[in-house]
């Protein structure tokens, strides 16, 4: 599949149901090599990636599910969100959550269904590959900019091969477990996970396309 730039950018959406179909490791290598063309401050390229597949993928998923089921928590390596969160951002996040739950027919008070939905993060939505994105410990905010550009390139590059992704900060909520299971040293921060696989086109959840805020809400033209 070859997409033009506009189509690639606009058609990329997070997928949350994947087929039971393995990915050729060479494909992952190609996508990562493309992605590393991302801009970074002074070409520092601070990103590091761990490609988790096969038995390690299954082990990581199992242990993360156990942590979730037994309500164990860990401190993240970094603060994801500003505190307090401005109301307009809360509104957008709520809207996204509500619409996804509506599509999945999960009621507002259905705690069990919401828990099961959350747990799907840790079964990696059945994706065969979990990418872990790491930065050197004590990275600054600018390094996260570099990482974001790189991650977007990864997600776009995957489309070329008919693959899809779901970036997952949820995986970075268990940084110690991720480091231990995957043999990642303590001097690396776990920034995000990302499920990667062939999307299940028949899955209703994969039809979800969140809306975007109107340009006038976030763009100012000066002349």
Dihedral (Cα; 174, 175, 177, 183), 10-degree rounding? 150
Q: Which is nearer to ligand FMN, 54 or 210 (CB)?
A: 210
135 lies in the binding site for ligand FMN (CB under 6 A): no
Nearest to 205 by CA among 94, 116, 129: 116
Residues touching ligand FMN, count (CB under 6 A)? 12
Binder of ligand FMN out of 76, 149, 170, 182 (CB under 6 A): 170
Sole window of 24-32, 47-55, 138-146, 167-175 interacting with ligand FMN (rule: CB under 6 A): 167-175
Q: Which is nearer to ligand FMN, 26 or 49 (CB)?
A: 49
Within 189-208, the residues that bind ligand FMN by CB under 6 A are 192
168 lies in the binding site for ligand FMN (CB under 6 A): yes
Binder of ligand FMN out of 60, 147, 166, 178 (CB under 6 A): 166
Sole window of 11-19, 82-90, 134-142, 175-183 interacting with ligand FMN (rule: CB under 6 A): 11-19
96 lies in the binding site for ligand FMN (CB under 6 A): yes
Sole window of 24-32, 44-52, 168-176, 182-190 interacting with ligand FMN (rule: CB under 6 A): 168-176
For the chain, the DSSP string reads ----HHHHHHH------B-S----HHHHHHHHHHHTTS--GGG----EEEEE-HHHHHHHHHHHHHHHHTT-----SS--S-SSPPHHHHHHHHHHHHHHHHHTT--TT-HHHHHHHHHTTTTGGG-SEEEEEEEETT--HHHHHHHHHHHHHHHHHHHTTT-EEEEEGGGGG-HHHHHHHHT--TTEEEEEEEEEE-B-TT-GGGG-------GGGT-----
Binder of ligand FMN out of 3, 8, 13, 19 (CB under 6 A): 13
Binder of ligand FMN out of 157, 167, 175, 197 (CB under 6 A): 167
Query: Which residues sit at the interface with ligand FMN, rule CB under 6 A?
Result: 13-14, 16, 96, 121, 166-170, 192, 210
């Amino acid at each position: 599949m070859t997409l033009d730039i506009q189509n690639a950018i606009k058609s990329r959406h997070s997928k949350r149901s994947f087929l039971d179909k393995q990915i050729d490791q060479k494909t992952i290598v190609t996508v990562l090599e493309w992605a590393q063309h991302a801009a970074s401050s002074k070409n520092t390229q601070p990103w590091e990636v761990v490609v988790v597949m096969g038995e390690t993928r299954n082990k990581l998923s199992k242990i993360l599910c156990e942590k979730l089921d037994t309500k164990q928590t860990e401190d993240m390596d970094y603060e994801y969100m500003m505190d307090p969160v401005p109301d307009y951002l809360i509104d957008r996040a709520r809207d996204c959550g509500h619409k996804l739950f509506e599509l999945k027919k999960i009621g507002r008070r259905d705690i069990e269904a919401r828990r099961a939905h959350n747990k799907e993060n840790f079964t990696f939505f059945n994706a065969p590959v979990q990418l872990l994105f790491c930065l050197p410990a004590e990275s600054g905010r600018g390094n996260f900019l570099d990482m974001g550009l790189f991650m977007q390139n990864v997600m776009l590059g995957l489309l070329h091969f008919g693959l899809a992704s779901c970036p997952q900060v949820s995986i970075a909520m268990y940084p110690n477990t991720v480091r231990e299971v995957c043999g990642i040293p303590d001097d690396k921060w776990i920034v995000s996970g990302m499920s990667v696989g062939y999307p299940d086109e028949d899955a209703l959840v994969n039809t979800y396309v969140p809306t975007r805020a109107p340009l006038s809400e976030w763009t100012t033209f000066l002349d």
